[in-house]
Chain A
Amino acid sequence: MPDMAKLTIAQALNQALEAALMEDSAVVILGEDVGKDGGVFRITDGLFEKFGGDRVIDTPLAESGIVGTSVGLAMAGMKPVAEIQFFGFIYETMDQIASQAARVRFRSLGRYSAPMVIRAPFGGGVKAPEIHSDSLEALFTHTPGIKVVVPSNPYDAKGLLLSAIDDPDPVLFLEPMRLYRAFRDEVPEEAYRVPLGKASVVREGTDVTLIGWGPSMALVLAAADELVAQYDIAPEVVDLRTLTPLDEETIVTSVQKTQRAVVVHEAVRTSGFGGEIAALIQEKAFLYLEAPVLRVTGYDTPYPMTMFEDLWLPDTSQVVTAALSSVRF
């Protein structure tokens, strides 16, 4: 085995960015405080020193300017990787993402494109306030033309980020904030890729399919352990990894086997991506279902204040309860 360091998600992302800067001189990183100071979550730590201010660019405080500049860079042949400090600030950039980046190819008949990555830390659980904890992925799964990628562990984080940077379409890359330094995994030294659009079956089982992504994977996996240990239920666990393009096949195949599904996300419930998954399952696996597809989600409120955060966030027991009611339906 070559070098297999044990890395956190934060370190794995840093390695991916370094590899991308090394591989291709068209790659530049830009964002608020990403250069000299290495970023709010220190994901770009050390890159300014290695690659200089022409490639790791400290920008003004102007989210729509950062994303708009990235669109222009990408149209002109560069591969920008923009950082938005917290996903909640993405509202500032909606026009540049949804009406520009996502449509450059469509409007120009494919003659121009915007191969760019927007990285943003997201999700709750770190005692940060609203806007700093929001899960807004469904705004973008509802936007044709932009891919949405959400890793949940260090290995995927590195491989998916490198694929996102290679990708010819614009990619929104969501980093689970509370998992940045929560645990370590073995991560190869080399610049490997994990393909976009492929979900991963993290645990095989026969009784119920638990579907999640990003930060929710931590509770899904904990719930799976509990189901096995305490209830003698064998859940199959699917980590979507990419929301757009969606790996329908893996979801449908799994549900055809288990005949039951529970979708877990932190985002608010109504019009959340869980609804899309439920619709997909009933369209493609209706006759296999033994129970309604259940959702474990955040509440339909703005993200709560810190003291209510644990109450508000989906937790392991809710996932266990949902899985049990699906199995016992």
Chain B
Amino acid sequence: MAKVVAVTGNEACANALRQVNPDVCGIYPITPQTDMMQRYASFIANGKVTTESILVESEHSSMSACIGAAAAGGRVITATSSQGLALMWEMLHIASGDRLPIIMPVVNRALSAPLNIHGDHSDAMGARDTGWIQIWSENAQESYDNTIQAFRIGEHMDIRLPVMVCLDGFIISHSIERMEYLEDGEVRDFVGEFKNFLPLLDLEKPKSYGPLILTDLYHEYKRAQHEVMTKVKDVVLDVAKDFEKLSGRKYGLFESYRLEDADIALVILNSAAGTSKDVIDEFRQRGVKAGLLKPRLFRPFPYEEAAEALKNTKAVCVMDRADSFGGYGPLFMEITSALYHLKERPVLINKIYGLGGRDYMPSHAELVLNELNEIAKGGKVKIIKEYLGVRE
């Protein structure tokens, strides 16, 4: 029986991790993730889990410890944010290159400089190309559900890759929401026993991880990593199907909201999607056919499926809570790539919003939808990439 609770996103993720009870956890604090690992440390101290904790001196060491523990054959977790993820960058590539299914909630926060502790997506977008699977979550419930599903996805014998579960710093990590917990036993059965794959601690069959490969085979190795990524989508969908049977909650590669007959659409990640959906409902009431696509799986990116979902729209705004200075927003670049192959494509614009935790308000969504409505009626695109809500 599901238990209805009122908890923060951090607490929800900490509890998902508790229910899985992994072998090893690398612990290092960083705002706004701190409270998640802190809660986990108290689960360990109170005997609620049998996880071995490693209190390390930096995130670089945390990911290094996780890599060691995962290569040894353990089910391994950690969590981080912002500068912490940035400091891990070197080790992120090693975790994915060594095919170690480490599970890591990332509580999204802006990057320095200037220093800022609030939520945006710059951290995880910077880790886009590290070979990790990335799953994004709108609210506490999705963060919890995605964390649980991440174990099944990353540990799948055809995949064996590390997974980041992204949730918005403060907006989700620190706000209390109503959500439902599964029973401990249900989660345990759902994720199943951890299956080892070539563990270092198998003394009968010694092996090595990550040795030097130069021009002879490195290229092939990386090609193989891409190959694995192409299998992830199906696994994500299979796991989602099983999860739906258990929880009644439906997940896909992305969420389509009132998109079937939409003329105009927003593409937007995480918590701001929730705000936007309300505004879309208002536009629908006024007879404007508006819809929304909220990516869930960002790496690997579901290009064909996203193109299929957006192909009948006339104008689309891709909303980025991160920037690529001198380029377009990272999500915009994915959507343009996805749509390029269509014979007829919607007009695309890109808005950068909410950097460093700047509030994203319903009025922002309204502004964008009005602009899209004009474009859909044949209006001209004035500026492709624009910043929303900049103080002049």
Bind each other: no
